[in-house]
Amino acid sequence: MIFGAVPVAEALGAILAHSLSLNSRTFRKGSVLDAQMIEAITTDGIDEVVVARLEKGELAENTAAERVGKALVGSSLKIGPVFTGRVNLLAEKAGLVRVDPQAVAAFNAVDEGLTLATLPDLMRVEVDQLVATVKVIPYGISSFLVEMGLKALGRHVITLHPFMGGTARLILTRTEGFKESLLAKGESVVADRATSLGYQMAEAVVVPHQEVAIAEALSEDADLHLILGASATSDRADVAPSAVEHAGGRIDRFGMPVDPGNLLFLGELRGAPVVGLPGCARSPALNGVDWVLERLAAGIGVDGDAVAAMGVGGLLKEMPGRPQPRRPR
């Protein structure tokens, strides 16, 4: 690409590099200068303009951006209009975004004029939310570089896993003296959390905080079993995890490196996931429960290894009024 200042008389067909304000009108940067524009600029007494001209084998910024955008778009994603060398990818459905960070880095390393920015991997998105943006920096770029970029991307760099829905069942437990208001709050907040992910809530069940009672409550089938105990789980051998095993299930993970959310446990019963909710599930604020439920709702497997990998970024915002703060006061 040829870039620089030229006499206005020689700028016909060139790309205006910077917006130009005249007495009568304004020409935006990126405009291709035609005869009428040249005449208007000359009439204003301007002798020289900064322009860009494409050379053989180069693509205009919009053409290049659109080519990359079309290569990226996949199921449940859509491409937006192209403008100023930019094209956006938007979510067609609510769900979780998966991103291949190595492929994105490889694309961005091909040439400084080719850029791709995305949401973080496993970010939750809503319908029409921006997922990624392609920006071609110069006004034109070699088609060879664009092809190199596409080769670096490969396939399935950005995928959207829609929330699939299903039936969720919440078991609440109570101990002597446990406040009814906490039961109601827990049920309401957990239901809101699950329904926002596309689940349909079965009627909640309240049972004593006892192994046999919880195991009996787990006899009903559901696509997702949720247990919110009156007492926090302290060990794999504690009441709620033992109840899952008593009912014929298994515990895959107790404890997660996400705070709030450390005391969550994850298991399986008759092919359906079981999530033992920590006390922070009674709060609508983001916590480790959200990360697990979002993946389950999107059909992305969550096992012990997946939970273990949540540590980086797992230190979430301190909750005001927390009974046991992370740091002594």
Mean pLDDT value of segment 295-311:
96
Q: Exposed (0-12), middle (13-18) or buried (19+): which is 16, by Cβ within 10 Å? A: buried
Mean pLDDT, rounded, of the chain: 95
For residue range 103-134, what is the model confidence (pLDDT) as tens digits?
Answer: 999 999 999 999 999 999 999 999 999 999 99
Instruction: Enter the tokens of residue 242.
Output: 């033992």
Mean pLDDT value of segment 133-156:
96
Cβ(244)–Cβ(269) under 8 Å?
yes
Please say if the pLDDT value at position 320 is more than 90.
no
**Rg (alpha carbons) of the chain, rounded to whole number:** 28
Which residue from 126, 122, 121 is spatially nearest to 91, judged by alpha carbons?
126
All residues at 6 or more sequence positions from 167 whose CB lies less than 8 Å from its CB, including other chains: 199, 200, 201, 202, 222, 223, 224
Instruction: Please report the pLDDT score of residue 27 as a whole number.
Output: 95
Instruction: Please report the pLDDT score of residue 188 as a whole number.
Output: 98
Q: Please give the class, per CATH, of domain 166-308.
A: alpha beta
Instruction: Please report the pLDDT score of residue 328 as a whole number.
Output: 54
Mean pLDDT value of segment 70-81:
95
Cβ(252)–Cβ(233) under 8 Å?
no
Instruction: Please report the pLDDT score of residue 326 as a whole number.
Output: 56
Domain assignments of the chain as residue spans, ordered by start: 58-162, 166-308
Question: CATH second-level architecture of 58-162?
Answer: Alpha-Beta Complex (3.90)
For residue range 171-186, what is the model confidence (pLDDT) as tens digits?
Answer: 999 999 899 999 999 9
